[in-house]
Structures are given as structure tokens and as C-alpha cells.
């Protein structure tokens, strides 16, 4: 293992001589080979710990149709890919569809060549031989006693997302009409001690909508929640497809009466593209204005993974300036370890309107 195991969200499985014995396209039968029961058992146990499974196989695309036709198999795997392209290309495509980072993926493949190809093209992806995959269950980060309810139910929440995408595909109106039909409800409230594990988890595991990448351990989060010098609101989301739980936070230091330092602004990648981040940021900056804050500052990690978040900040009037003395606790040398301070000044102009298809409920701290 590599030390990146706390990020694991999806295991991508090869098929031939990994999920089953033999090579499917060489079989004379029209059916798929029998799946190895011990591998399916591992898929199910990982699902119970919030780890998705997908498929990447260099084979004839007709195999994918057979997989999707079997409800027992189709229900276990997300965004499967069966094609003759390089495995690294398939993994990129899977990550994009699932909305997760490549560093949160594992490839299990019997072929040393395929593992080497992925390591060369995508060094952030962990590659394992089939006989090594069982060790994933022993990782501390996948110990159920250490995981939040949101992580343990990741598979169920992705199933909800699949239903949402199917409904959107069948919807006759515009995308905005569809989002309004979803009946999204965002609830913002002060963080409680019960929220601390999820906040720490999001700080460590989110990437797409994560400003700084600063890692906060559980005890640090607990202390900030009760510290009057800090403001830690959290966001919950629900819609007609289900309750998504706690999906965002803004860990904010009230370093001076008129300065807000948002050390971490993050939302789950599962809610990207729905307007939740815009509603939350609009509310947060409105709170800063009401409190009489001048500048609102946030350290932002510069990297490809969080480009969407940086574009969001710019739309809301944030401007970049060099930062000093900040460390994201990230990966030096990867090109994603440089922090720049983004600053918003209320005097620069009005905020853009938040999306009108989301109902916002705010709980005031008592």
C-alpha cells in the first residue's frame, strides 16, 4: 500500500482472469463465465464500507451488454467500461462519470502489463494484483467503526444519483426546469459536535469542490466548533430522490472583527452542478456583510482537481493574490501544493443571484 488509502472511494476490477477464470471472448458460450464467488463477496463487503466498484476490461464491447443484462451484476458495478482502449483511458472516463478524483481509485488486474500501463499514465491510481485486493478490508480508513454514515452509505447514494440521472434524461423540459422539479432543499446550520467526524472526513476526502485541501483531524474540528473565534456552518441537502446528509462546510476563522478567513470551503462532489455551492457561498458572504466584515479571504490550492471551485469563487468576486506561510498538507511536487489567497471585498459590487430552484432553510445558533 502507498499511504493514500484514506482516499479510496472506488475499486475498478478487470474481468478476464480477475473476476472470472479464462477469457470471455474466447468462450463458445453466449453467456458470461461464472464469476468467482470470493471476488463478488469482496465487492459486496467493500460496498458495505462505502466503496464503489466499477469495471475496466480490454475486451469486446459486447461483453458489457451481457453484464448490464444481468441484474445481479449490473447492480454491483458503477460506470463499467469494456473496450479495446488503454485501461488508463477507461479509468479517466470512470472517474469523470462518478465525479471522483483519480487518487481515490484502485485498479485490480491480473496483468502486470495493464497495472504498469496505469501506473505510468496515472501514478495517483493504486494498482493491485487480485491476490492483494483482500487487504483493502484491513485498511484503517475502511474500518466501519471509523466511518461516518454518509461514507458507509456511499453506494446507496450513488444509486440515488443514477435514478436522478435517468429521470433527467427522460425529462421533457429544460435543465433548470428539471432542477426545479427535483425540489431541492438546502439547510444551513451551525455545526454540532455530532457533525465533527463528517467535517473531518470531507476535509480529507473531497477534491473537486475543496478550496484549500487543508486536513483537519477530528479533535481539531471538535475544538473549532466550540471556539467563539471560529464560525463553522454546515450544509445538508435533500430532494425528491432522497436525503444526502451533510454535504458541505465552511471552516471560518474570525481573525479580526472585520476580517473573515475561510480556511476551508468544501462541498461533496456528489452535489456538484446543482447550484448548492452557489447557494451556500451566497449565504456565507451575506453573513459576512451582515457582520460588518471587510475582506473575506480563503486560501485556495491551485490544481486541476478544484478548477470548478476556483471558477465559482471568481464568479462571486474573489480575486487571487499570493499567499505566504500556508501549507495544505498535500502532496509536494505534484503541482497541486501551491496555495494562493483569494479575497472578496463587499465594496467591489453586488453578489450574483443564487439559483432560484433551491429552497434555503437557515437555522440560527441559539
The model's confidence at residue 116, banded by pLDDT at 50, 70 and 90, is: very high
- Condensed to tens digits (0 to 9), the pLDDT of residues 181-204 reads 999 999 999 999 999 999 998 998
Residue where the block lists cell 504498469: 116
Lowest mean pLDDT among 19-23, 61-65, 130-134, 141-145: 141-145
Angle at the Cα of 93 from the Cα atoms of 8 and 73, rounded to 5 degrees: 70
Q: What is the structure's pLDDT at 275?
A: 95
Model confidence at 301: pLDDT above 80: yes
pLDDT (tens digit per residue) in 16-52: 999 999 888 776 676 788 899 999 999 999 999 989 9
**Structure confidence at residue 333 (pLDDT):** 36
Cβ within 8 Å of residue 233, ≥6 positions away: 188, 189, 190, 191, 249, 250, 252, 284, 287
Q: Over 90: is that where the pLDDT of 242 sits?
A: no
Q: What band does 331 get if pLDDT is binned at 50, 70 and 90?
A: very low
CB-based contact 95:88 (threshold 8 Å): no
Q: Tell me if the domain spanning 174-362 has CATH number 3.40.630.30.
A: yes
- Does residue 106 have a pLDDT over 80? yes
Measured on CA atoms in the order 317, 320, 325, 330, is the torsion positive or negative? positive
Taking residues 349-355, report their average pLDDT.
Answer: 91
Does position 221 have pLDDT exceeding 90, yes or no? Answer: yes
pTM for the whole thing? 0.74
pLDDT over 70 (residue 341): yes
Domain map (residue ranges) of the chain: 5-146, 174-362
Q: Return the closest-CA partner of residue 331 out of 352, 356, 311, 303.
A: 303
Can you give the pLDDT at residue 334?
41
Cα torsion 140, 146, 152, 158: sign: negative
Chain mean pLDDT for the chain? 88
Q: What is the pLDDT of residue 247?
A: 95
**For the purposes of burial, counting CB atoms within 10 Å of the CB of 28, is it exposed (0-12), middle (13-18) or buried (19 or more)?**
exposed
What is the model's pLDDT at position 325?
Answer: 40
**Does 5-146 carry CATH code 3.40.50.1000?**
yes
pLDDT of 104 higher than 70: yes
Determine the average pLDDT of the residues in 76-82: 93
Res 1 pLDDT > 60:
no
CB under 8 Å to 235, separation ≥6 — which residues? 186, 187, 188, 246, 247, 248, 249, 267, 276, 280
Residue that the C-alpha cell 445558533 belongs to:
365
Enter the C-alpha cell of residue 105.
481509485
For residues 110 and 262, give the distance between their C-alpha atoms in angstroms, rounded to a whole number: 45
What phi, psi does 48 have (nearest 5°)? -65, -15
Amino acid at each position: 500500500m502507498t499511504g493514500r488509502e484514506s482516499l479510496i472511494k472506488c475499486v475498478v476490477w478487470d474481468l478476464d482472469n480477475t473476476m472470472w477464470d479464462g477469457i470471455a471472448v474466447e468462450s463458445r458460450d453466449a453467456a458470461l463465465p461464472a464469476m468467482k464467488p470470493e471476488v463478488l463477496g469482496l465487492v459486496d463487503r467493500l460496498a458495505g464500507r462505502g466503496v464503489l466498484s466499477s469495471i475496466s476490461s480490454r475486451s469486446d464491447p459486447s461483453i458489457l451488454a451481457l453484464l448490464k443484462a444481468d441484474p445481479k451484476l449490473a447492480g454491483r458495478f458503477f460506470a463499467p467500461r469494456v473496450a479495446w482502449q488503454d485501461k488508463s483511458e477507461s479509468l479517466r472516463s470512470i472517474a469523470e462519470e462518478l465525479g471522483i478524483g483519480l487518487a481515490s481509485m484502485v485498479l485490480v488486474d491480473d496483468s502486470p502489463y495493464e497495472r504498469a500501463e496505469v501506473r505510468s499514465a496515472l501514478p495517483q491510481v493504486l494498482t493491485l494484483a487480485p491476490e492483494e485486493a483482500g487487504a483493502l478490508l484491513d485498511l484503517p480508513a475502511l474500518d466501519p467503526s471509523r466511518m461516518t454514515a454518509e461514507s458507509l452509505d456511499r453506494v446507496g447514494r450513488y444509486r440515488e444519483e443514477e435514478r436522478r440521472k435517468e429521470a433527467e434524461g427522460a425529462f421533457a423540459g429544460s435543465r433548470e426546469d428539471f432542477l426545479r422539479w427535483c425540489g431541492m432543499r438546502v439547510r444551513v446550520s451551525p455545526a454540532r459536535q455530532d457533525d465533527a467526524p463528517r467535517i473531518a472526513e470531507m476535509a480529507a476526502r473531497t477534491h473537486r469542490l475543496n478550496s484549500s485541501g487543508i486536513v483537519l483531524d477530528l479533535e481539531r474540528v471538535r475544538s473549532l466548533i466550540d471556539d467563539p473565534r471560529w464560525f463553522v456552518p454546515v450544509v445538508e441537502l435533500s430532494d425528491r430522490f432522497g436525503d444526502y446528509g451533510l454535504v458541505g462546510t465552511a471552516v471560518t476563522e474570525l481573525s479580526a472583527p472585520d476580517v473573515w478567513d475561510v480556511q476551508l470551503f468544501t462541498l461533496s462532489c456528489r452535489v456538484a452542478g446543482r447550484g448548492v455551492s452557489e447557494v451556500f457561498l451566497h449565504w456565507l458572504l451575506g453573513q459576512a456583510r451582515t457582520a460588518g466584515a471587510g475582506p473575506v479571504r480563503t486560501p485556495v490550492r491551485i490544481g486541476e482537481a478544484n478548477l470548478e471551485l476556483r471558477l465559482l469563487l471568481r464568479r462571486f468576486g474573489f480575486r487571487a493574490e499570493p499567499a505566504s506561510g500556508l501549507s495544505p498538507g498535500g502532496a509536494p511536487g505534484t503541482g497541486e501544493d501551491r496555495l494562493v489567497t483569494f479575497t472578496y471585498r463587499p465594496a467591489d459590487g453586488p453578489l450574483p443571484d443564487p439559483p432560484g430552484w433551491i429552497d434555503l432553510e437557515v437555522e440560527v445558533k441559539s
